[in-house]
Structure 1
Amino acid sequence: MPKPSNKNDIVAAGLRVMFRKGYNGAGVRDVVAEAGVPQGSFTNHFRSKEAFAAEVLDHYFAHTRELVGQALNDRSLGPRERLLRYLDIITKRLADDDYLRGCLIGDFSIEVSQTSELLRERLVAIYQEWRKPFERCITKAQQAGEISTRFSANDLADFLLVSWEGAILRMKVDRNAEALDRFKRIAFATVFTAEPPFGPQQSGS
Protein backbone atom coordinates (compact mmCIF):
# COMPACT_ATOMS: atom_id res chain seq x y z
CA MET A 1 0.00 0.00 0.00
CA PRO A 2 1.55 3.37 -0.99
CA LYS A 3 2.61 5.69 1.80
CA PRO A 4 0.29 8.72 2.07
CA SER A 5 1.76 11.98 0.79
CA ASN A 6 2.56 14.81 3.16
CA LYS A 7 2.58 17.40 0.38
CA ASN A 8 -0.72 19.08 1.22
CA ASP A 9 0.18 19.26 4.90
CA ILE A 10 3.52 20.88 4.06
CA VAL A 11 1.90 23.46 1.79
CA ALA A 12 -0.68 24.34 4.46
CA ALA A 13 2.08 24.61 7.04
CA GLY A 14 4.09 26.79 4.68
CA LEU A 15 1.18 29.19 4.38
CA ARG A 16 0.99 29.59 8.16
CA VAL A 17 4.74 30.05 8.52
CA MET A 18 5.02 32.54 5.66
CA PHE A 19 2.20 34.59 7.08
CA ARG A 20 4.15 34.83 10.35
CA LYS A 21 7.68 35.19 9.03
CA GLY A 22 7.42 36.18 5.38
CA TYR A 23 9.10 34.42 2.49
CA ASN A 24 12.68 35.29 3.46
CA GLY A 25 12.17 34.56 7.15
CA ALA A 26 10.55 31.16 6.61
CA GLY A 27 13.10 28.36 6.55
CA VAL A 28 12.53 24.79 5.45
CA ARG A 29 13.10 23.65 9.03
CA ASP A 30 10.36 26.01 10.20
CA VAL A 31 7.95 24.59 7.66
CA VAL A 32 8.56 20.90 8.35
CA ALA A 33 8.42 21.53 12.09
CA GLU A 34 5.04 23.25 11.61
CA ALA A 35 3.83 20.35 9.48
CA GLY A 36 5.24 17.72 11.84
CA VAL A 37 7.05 15.85 9.07
CA PRO A 38 10.70 14.95 8.48
CA GLN A 39 12.79 17.33 6.37
CA GLY A 40 13.18 14.66 3.71
CA SER A 41 9.47 14.97 2.98
CA PHE A 42 10.04 18.54 1.82
CA THR A 43 12.84 17.68 -0.59
CA ASN A 44 10.81 14.75 -1.93
CA HIS A 45 8.04 17.09 -3.08
CA PHE A 46 9.70 20.43 -3.84
CA ARG A 47 12.82 21.13 -5.86
CA SER A 48 13.47 24.48 -4.14
CA LYS A 49 12.07 26.88 -1.60
CA GLU A 50 11.10 29.16 -4.48
CA ALA A 51 9.05 26.42 -6.18
CA PHE A 52 7.49 25.58 -2.83
CA ALA A 53 6.49 29.22 -2.26
CA ALA A 54 4.79 29.24 -5.67
CA GLU A 55 2.63 26.31 -4.57
CA VAL A 56 1.86 28.03 -1.27
CA LEU A 57 0.81 31.11 -3.22
CA ASP A 58 -1.43 29.01 -5.49
CA HIS A 59 -2.97 27.36 -2.41
CA TYR A 60 -3.73 30.78 -0.93
CA PHE A 61 -5.16 32.12 -4.19
CA ALA A 62 -7.45 29.10 -4.53
CA HIS A 63 -9.08 30.13 -1.25
CA THR A 64 -9.21 33.75 -2.40
CA ARG A 65 -11.11 32.64 -5.52
CA GLU A 66 -13.73 31.03 -3.27
CA LEU A 67 -14.24 34.27 -1.36
CA VAL A 68 -14.51 36.23 -4.61
CA GLY A 69 -17.16 33.83 -5.87
CA GLN A 70 -19.03 33.96 -2.57
CA ALA A 71 -19.44 37.72 -2.94
CA LEU A 72 -19.55 38.43 -6.66
CA ASN A 73 -21.89 35.54 -7.53
CA ASP A 74 -24.47 36.53 -4.92
CA ARG A 75 -27.51 37.23 -7.12
CA SER A 76 -29.48 38.57 -4.15
CA LEU A 77 -27.33 41.72 -4.37
CA GLY A 78 -26.85 44.27 -7.11
CA PRO A 79 -23.46 44.30 -8.87
CA ARG A 80 -22.17 47.35 -6.98
CA GLU A 81 -23.27 45.85 -3.65
CA ARG A 82 -21.40 42.63 -4.49
CA LEU A 83 -18.13 44.56 -4.74
CA LEU A 84 -18.65 46.03 -1.30
CA ARG A 85 -19.73 42.63 0.00
CA TYR A 86 -16.35 41.19 -1.00
CA LEU A 87 -14.49 43.92 0.87
CA ASP A 88 -16.70 43.36 3.92
CA ILE A 89 -15.98 39.61 3.86
CA ILE A 90 -12.24 40.26 3.78
CA THR A 91 -12.52 42.91 6.51
CA LYS A 92 -14.27 40.40 8.77
CA ARG A 93 -11.59 37.76 8.19
CA LEU A 94 -8.81 40.25 8.90
CA ALA A 95 -10.58 41.33 12.09
CA ASP A 96 -10.85 37.70 13.18
CA ASP A 97 -7.04 37.56 12.98
CA ASP A 98 -6.75 40.74 15.09
CA TYR A 99 -5.35 42.58 12.03
CA LEU A 100 -2.05 40.73 12.41
CA ARG A 101 -2.29 38.88 9.10
CA GLY A 102 -2.80 40.57 5.76
CA CYS A 103 -2.90 39.22 2.21
CA LEU A 104 -0.16 36.84 1.08
CA ILE A 105 -0.45 38.14 -2.48
CA GLY A 106 0.32 41.66 -1.31
CA ASP A 107 3.05 40.49 1.05
CA PHE A 108 4.78 38.55 -1.73
CA SER A 109 4.39 41.48 -4.14
CA ILE A 110 6.55 43.56 -1.81
CA GLU A 111 8.99 40.91 -0.65
CA VAL A 112 9.85 38.76 -3.66
CA SER A 113 8.98 40.61 -6.88
CA GLN A 114 12.54 41.98 -7.22
CA THR A 115 14.36 38.82 -6.21
CA SER A 116 12.42 35.93 -7.77
CA GLU A 117 11.37 35.98 -11.41
CA LEU A 118 9.40 32.75 -10.91
CA LEU A 119 7.29 34.25 -8.15
CA ARG A 120 6.99 37.63 -9.89
CA GLU A 121 5.59 35.96 -13.00
CA ARG A 122 3.19 33.92 -10.86
CA LEU A 123 2.00 37.12 -9.17
CA VAL A 124 1.42 38.76 -12.56
CA ALA A 125 -0.77 35.81 -13.58
CA ILE A 126 -2.65 35.90 -10.27
CA TYR A 127 -3.42 39.60 -10.55
CA GLN A 128 -4.68 39.11 -14.11
CA GLU A 129 -6.96 36.25 -13.09
CA TRP A 130 -8.06 37.99 -9.87
CA ARG A 131 -9.11 41.10 -11.78
CA LYS A 132 -11.40 39.36 -14.28
CA PRO A 133 -14.42 38.61 -12.03
CA PHE A 134 -14.27 42.15 -10.66
CA GLU A 135 -14.14 43.53 -14.19
CA ARG A 136 -17.23 41.50 -15.10
CA CYS A 137 -19.08 42.65 -11.99
CA ILE A 138 -18.18 46.30 -12.60
CA THR A 139 -19.31 45.99 -16.23
CA LYS A 140 -22.71 44.79 -14.99
CA ALA A 141 -22.85 47.67 -12.51
CA GLN A 142 -22.06 50.12 -15.30
CA GLN A 143 -24.73 48.59 -17.53
CA ALA A 144 -27.21 48.91 -14.66
CA GLY A 145 -26.30 52.57 -14.17
CA GLU A 146 -24.84 51.92 -10.71
CA ILE A 147 -21.27 52.92 -11.58
CA SER A 148 -20.10 55.65 -13.95
CA THR A 149 -18.61 54.61 -17.30
CA ARG A 150 -16.03 57.38 -17.22
CA PHE A 151 -13.35 54.76 -16.54
CA SER A 152 -13.19 51.31 -18.08
CA ALA A 153 -14.26 48.31 -16.03
CA ASN A 154 -10.74 46.93 -16.44
CA ASP A 155 -9.16 50.04 -14.93
CA LEU A 156 -11.69 50.19 -12.12
CA ALA A 157 -11.16 46.54 -11.23
CA ASP A 158 -7.41 47.04 -11.11
CA PHE A 159 -7.82 50.21 -9.06
CA LEU A 160 -10.06 48.42 -6.58
CA LEU A 161 -7.67 45.52 -5.98
CA VAL A 162 -4.46 47.56 -5.91
CA SER A 163 -5.89 50.21 -3.60
CA TRP A 164 -7.38 47.56 -1.33
CA GLU A 165 -3.99 45.86 -1.04
CA GLY A 166 -2.52 49.21 0.03
CA ALA A 167 -5.22 49.62 2.66
CA ILE A 168 -4.42 46.15 4.01
CA LEU A 169 -0.73 47.03 4.32
CA ARG A 170 -1.63 50.13 6.33
CA MET A 171 -4.00 48.04 8.44
CA LYS A 172 -1.12 45.77 9.42
CA VAL A 173 0.84 48.76 10.65
CA ASP A 174 -2.04 50.33 12.58
CA ARG A 175 -3.49 46.99 13.76
CA ASN A 176 -7.03 48.22 13.23
CA ALA A 177 -9.64 48.53 10.49
CA GLU A 178 -9.44 52.29 9.97
CA ALA A 179 -7.58 52.14 6.64
CA LEU A 180 -9.98 49.50 5.31
CA ASP A 181 -13.07 51.42 6.36
CA ARG A 182 -11.63 54.68 4.99
CA PHE A 183 -11.00 53.14 1.60
CA LYS A 184 -14.50 51.66 1.39
CA ARG A 185 -16.13 54.89 2.53
CA ILE A 186 -14.28 57.15 0.08
CA ALA A 187 -14.13 54.80 -2.93
CA PHE A 188 -17.82 53.99 -2.81
CA ALA A 189 -18.77 57.64 -2.36
CA THR A 190 -16.67 58.80 -5.32
CA VAL A 191 -15.28 56.31 -7.84
CA PHE A 192 -17.82 53.48 -7.52
CA THR A 193 -20.95 55.60 -7.97
CA ALA A 194 -23.28 56.45 -10.81
CA GLU A 195 -22.02 60.02 -10.91
CA PRO A 196 -18.73 60.59 -12.78
CA PRO A 197 -16.00 61.01 -10.14
CA PHE A 198 -14.37 64.42 -9.88
CA GLY A 199 -17.08 66.13 -11.95
CA PRO A 200 -18.00 65.89 -15.64
CA GLN A 201 -15.26 65.07 -18.08
CA GLN A 202 -14.02 68.13 -19.93
CA SER A 203 -13.93 68.14 -23.71
CA GLY A 204 -10.46 67.60 -25.07
CA SER A 205 -9.20 66.01 -21.85
Structure 2
Amino acid sequence: MNDTRQHILATGRALVAQRGYTGVGLSELLREAGVPKGSFYHFFKSKEAFGCALLDSFVEGYAEELSATLGSPDMDARARLMAYFEGWRARQSGEAYEARCLVVKLSAEVAELSPGMRDVLDRGVSAIIARLAAVIREGADDGSLPAHSDPQMLATTLYQIWLGASLMGALSRDTIPYDGAMTATAALLDNKGHA
Protein backbone atom coordinates (compact mmCIF):
# COMPACT_ATOMS: atom_id res chain seq x y z
CA MET A 1 0.00 0.00 0.00
CA ASN A 2 2.79 2.41 0.85
CA ASP A 3 4.19 1.65 -2.63
CA THR A 4 0.99 3.05 -4.17
CA ARG A 5 1.28 6.21 -2.07
CA GLN A 6 4.94 6.64 -3.09
CA HIS A 7 4.02 6.01 -6.73
CA ILE A 8 1.35 8.72 -6.61
CA LEU A 9 3.83 11.13 -5.00
CA ALA A 10 6.56 10.33 -7.56
CA THR A 11 4.16 10.78 -10.45
CA GLY A 12 2.88 14.02 -8.94
CA ARG A 13 6.42 15.28 -8.41
CA ALA A 14 7.25 14.87 -12.09
CA LEU A 15 4.02 16.56 -13.21
CA VAL A 16 4.15 19.41 -10.68
CA ALA A 17 7.82 20.10 -11.37
CA GLN A 18 6.96 20.67 -15.01
CA ARG A 19 3.60 22.44 -14.83
CA GLY A 20 3.16 23.69 -11.29
CA TYR A 21 0.68 22.67 -8.62
CA THR A 22 -2.41 24.35 -10.07
CA GLY A 23 -1.46 23.21 -13.59
CA VAL A 24 -1.94 19.56 -12.67
CA GLY A 25 -5.50 18.33 -12.32
CA LEU A 26 -6.44 15.40 -10.14
CA SER A 27 -7.75 13.35 -13.09
CA GLU A 28 -4.49 13.88 -14.99
CA LEU A 29 -2.48 12.80 -11.94
CA LEU A 30 -4.61 9.68 -11.52
CA ARG A 31 -4.38 8.84 -15.21
CA GLU A 32 -0.58 9.26 -15.26
CA ALA A 33 -0.19 7.25 -12.04
CA GLY A 34 -2.60 4.58 -13.25
CA VAL A 35 -4.55 4.53 -10.00
CA PRO A 36 -8.27 4.93 -9.32
CA LYS A 37 -9.70 7.92 -7.50
CA GLY A 38 -10.47 5.78 -4.45
CA SER A 39 -6.79 4.91 -4.06
CA PHE A 40 -5.89 8.59 -4.12
CA TYR A 41 -8.43 9.43 -1.42
CA HIS A 42 -7.29 6.46 0.65
CA PHE A 43 -3.91 8.19 1.05
CA PHE A 44 -4.81 11.89 0.73
CA LYS A 45 -8.01 13.54 1.95
CA SER A 46 -7.74 16.31 -0.66
CA LYS A 47 -5.51 17.69 -3.39
CA GLU A 48 -4.11 20.12 -0.80
CA ALA A 49 -3.26 17.22 1.52
CA PHE A 50 -1.52 15.60 -1.46
CA GLY A 51 0.37 18.87 -2.05
CA CYS A 52 1.51 18.97 1.58
CA ALA A 53 2.61 15.32 1.40
CA LEU A 54 4.41 15.97 -1.88
CA LEU A 55 6.31 18.89 -0.36
CA ASP A 56 7.05 16.98 2.87
CA SER A 57 8.49 14.15 0.78
CA PHE A 58 10.55 16.58 -1.30
CA VAL A 59 11.88 18.44 1.76
CA GLU A 60 12.84 15.16 3.43
CA GLY A 61 14.71 13.94 0.35
CA TYR A 62 16.33 17.32 -0.16
CA ALA A 63 17.58 17.32 3.43
CA GLU A 64 19.36 14.03 2.73
CA GLU A 65 20.96 15.47 -0.43
CA LEU A 66 21.90 18.60 1.51
CA SER A 67 23.63 16.54 4.18
CA ALA A 68 25.58 14.62 1.55
CA THR A 69 26.86 17.82 -0.07
CA LEU A 70 27.24 20.13 2.91
CA GLY A 71 28.52 17.37 5.19
CA SER A 72 31.14 15.96 2.83
CA PRO A 73 34.29 15.18 4.83
CA ASP A 74 36.44 15.50 1.71
CA MET A 75 36.03 19.29 1.34
CA ASP A 76 36.47 22.35 3.50
CA ALA A 77 33.39 24.41 4.34
CA ARG A 78 33.84 26.95 1.52
CA ALA A 79 34.19 24.18 -1.07
CA ARG A 80 31.08 22.45 0.30
CA LEU A 81 29.05 25.65 0.02
CA MET A 82 30.24 26.31 -3.51
CA ALA A 83 29.48 22.68 -4.46
CA TYR A 84 25.96 23.08 -3.07
CA PHE A 85 25.33 26.18 -5.17
CA GLU A 86 26.95 24.61 -8.23
CA GLY A 87 24.51 21.72 -7.79
CA TRP A 88 21.67 24.22 -7.54
CA ARG A 89 22.76 25.78 -10.83
CA ALA A 90 22.99 22.37 -12.53
CA ARG A 91 19.55 21.23 -11.31
CA GLN A 92 17.69 24.44 -12.04
CA SER A 93 19.22 25.09 -15.45
CA GLY A 94 19.09 21.48 -16.65
CA GLU A 95 16.49 19.95 -18.92
CA ALA A 96 15.19 17.47 -16.33
CA TYR A 97 12.18 19.20 -14.78
CA GLU A 98 11.78 16.48 -12.16
CA ALA A 99 15.28 17.29 -10.83
CA ARG A 100 14.39 20.92 -10.19
CA CYS A 101 13.66 22.22 -6.73
CA LEU A 102 9.97 22.22 -5.79
CA VAL A 103 10.61 24.97 -3.25
CA VAL A 104 11.73 27.24 -6.09
CA LYS A 105 8.93 26.06 -8.38
CA LEU A 106 6.06 26.36 -5.91
CA SER A 107 6.92 29.11 -3.41
CA ALA A 108 5.16 31.94 -5.19
CA GLU A 109 2.36 29.74 -6.52
CA VAL A 110 1.18 28.24 -3.24
CA ALA A 111 2.07 30.98 -0.73
CA GLU A 112 -1.43 32.44 -0.82
CA LEU A 113 -3.21 29.34 -2.06
CA SER A 114 -2.53 26.89 0.75
CA PRO A 115 -1.48 27.70 4.32
CA GLY A 116 -0.50 24.06 4.85
CA MET A 117 1.76 23.95 1.80
CA ARG A 118 3.19 27.35 2.68
CA ASP A 119 4.09 26.06 6.16
CA VAL A 120 5.87 23.01 4.72
CA LEU A 121 7.84 25.25 2.35
CA ASP A 122 8.68 27.71 5.11
CA ARG A 123 9.96 24.95 7.40
CA GLY A 124 11.98 23.49 4.54
CA VAL A 125 13.57 26.81 3.63
CA SER A 126 14.32 27.57 7.28
CA ALA A 127 16.10 24.23 7.61
CA ILE A 128 18.17 24.87 4.47
CA ILE A 129 19.18 28.32 5.67
CA ALA A 130 20.08 26.99 9.12
CA ARG A 131 22.28 24.31 7.51
CA LEU A 132 23.99 26.89 5.27
CA ALA A 133 24.62 29.11 8.31
CA ALA A 134 26.16 26.17 10.17
CA VAL A 135 28.57 25.52 7.29
CA ILE A 136 29.48 29.22 7.18
CA ARG A 137 30.40 28.97 10.88
CA GLU A 138 32.37 25.78 10.15
CA GLY A 139 34.26 27.72 7.48
CA ALA A 140 35.47 30.21 10.06
CA ASP A 141 36.59 27.28 12.22
CA ASP A 142 38.45 25.44 9.45
CA GLY A 143 39.95 28.65 8.02
CA SER A 144 38.32 28.37 4.58
CA LEU A 145 36.10 31.42 5.25
CA PRO A 146 36.51 34.60 7.23
CA ALA A 147 34.51 34.86 10.45
CA HIS A 148 31.19 36.46 9.53
CA SER A 149 29.40 38.53 12.15
CA ASP A 150 25.98 37.05 11.29
CA PRO A 151 26.16 33.67 9.50
CA GLN A 152 22.36 33.31 9.61
CA MET A 153 21.86 36.60 7.75
CA LEU A 154 24.54 35.69 5.22
CA ALA A 155 22.91 32.29 4.64
CA THR A 156 19.53 33.99 4.19
CA THR A 157 20.99 36.47 1.72
CA LEU A 158 22.67 33.71 -0.28
CA TYR A 159 19.45 31.70 -0.41
CA GLN A 160 17.53 34.77 -1.59
CA ILE A 161 20.12 35.45 -4.30
CA TRP A 162 19.79 31.89 -5.59
CA LEU A 163 16.02 31.92 -5.41
CA GLY A 164 16.02 35.10 -7.49
CA ALA A 165 18.54 33.64 -9.92
CA SER A 166 16.28 30.61 -10.37
CA LEU A 167 13.32 32.80 -11.22
CA MET A 168 15.40 34.89 -13.64
CA GLY A 169 16.88 31.74 -15.17
CA ALA A 170 13.39 30.36 -15.77
CA LEU A 171 12.52 33.56 -17.62
CA SER A 172 15.69 33.89 -19.67
CA ARG A 173 16.26 30.16 -20.25
CA ASP A 174 20.01 30.60 -19.89
CA THR A 175 22.64 30.33 -17.17
CA ILE A 176 23.56 34.02 -16.93
CA PRO A 177 21.55 34.56 -13.70
CA TYR A 178 23.26 31.54 -12.13
CA ASP A 179 26.68 32.80 -13.21
CA GLY A 180 25.93 36.10 -11.48
CA ALA A 181 24.67 34.30 -8.38
CA MET A 182 27.85 32.21 -8.24
CA THR A 183 30.04 35.34 -8.48
CA ALA A 184 28.00 37.10 -5.79
CA THR A 185 28.13 34.01 -3.57
CA ALA A 186 31.91 33.79 -3.74
CA ALA A 187 32.25 37.52 -3.05
CA LEU A 188 29.90 37.43 -0.06
CA LEU A 189 31.51 34.33 1.43
CA ASP A 190 34.98 35.83 1.15
CA ASN A 191 33.99 39.30 2.42
CA LYS A 192 34.82 39.70 6.11
CA GLY A 193 32.60 42.72 6.44
CA HIS A 194 29.30 41.03 5.55
CA ALA A 195 26.76 41.11 8.34
Q: Give TM-score scaled by structure 1 length.
A: 0.85
Matched, 1:193 2:190: yes
Letter of the aligned partner of 1:136 in structure 2? Answer: A
Q: Cα 1:28–1:99, aligned 2, differ >3 Å: closer, same or farther?
A: closer
Which residue does the alignment assign to 1:125? 123
CA distance in 2, matches of 1:136, 1:172: 29
The 2-side partners of 1:98 and 1:178 are apart by 19
Distance 2:148 2:105 in 1: 31
Give distance in 2, aligned partners of 1:43 and 1:113. Answer: 24
User: What residue in structure 1 maps to residue 157 of structure 2?
Assistant: 159
Residue 146 of structure 2 contacts residue 192 of structure 2 at CA under 8 Å; is this kept in 1? yes
Instruction: After superposing the two structures, state which structure 1 stretch, 79-88 or 93-102, moved more.
Output: 93-102
Give the number of the structure whose alpha-carbon radius of gyration is greater: 1
Contact 2:129–2:155 (CA under 8 A) maintained in structure 1: yes
Matched residues in 2 for 1:12 and 1:99: separation?
Answer: 13
Q: Quote the residue 1:23 is aligned against.
A: 21
1:143 Cα offset (Å): 2.8
CA distance in 1 between partners of 2:121 and 2:92 (Å): 21
8 Å contact from structure 1 (residues 142, 148) kept in 2: yes
Q: Distance in 1 between matches of 2:45 and 2:96?
A: 35
Whole-Å Cα distance in 1 between the matches of residues 136 and 56 of structure 2?
A: 25
| Aligned-residue identity in percent | 26
Letter in 1 for 2:62: T
Question: How far did 1:120 drift?
Answer: 1.4
One-letter code aligned to 2:46: S
Higher helix share: 2
Determine the structure 2 residue equivalent to 1:45.
43
- Alignment CA distance shift 1:99-1:176 (3 Å): farther
Q: Distance in 2 between matches of 1:43 and 1:187?
A: 44
What residue ranges of structure 2 are gaps of 5+ in the alignment?
none
Contact 1:106 1:165 in 2 (8 A): yes
Corresponding residue number in structure 2 for 1:141: 139
Match of 2:114 among 108, 113, 116: 116
CA distance in 2, matches of 1:100, 1:41: 23
For residues 33 and 169 of structure 1, what CA distance do their matches in structure 2 show? 30
1:150-191 Cα offsets, whole Å, 9 max, x none, are 441111111122221111111111112211111101220x21
Instruction: Tell me which of 173, 176, 181 is aligned to 2:174.
Output: 176
Aligned pairs for 1:95-110 within 5 A: 95-97=93-95, 102-110=100-108
Give RMSD over aligned pairs.
2.2
Residue 83 of structure 1, aligned match among 81, 84, 89: 81
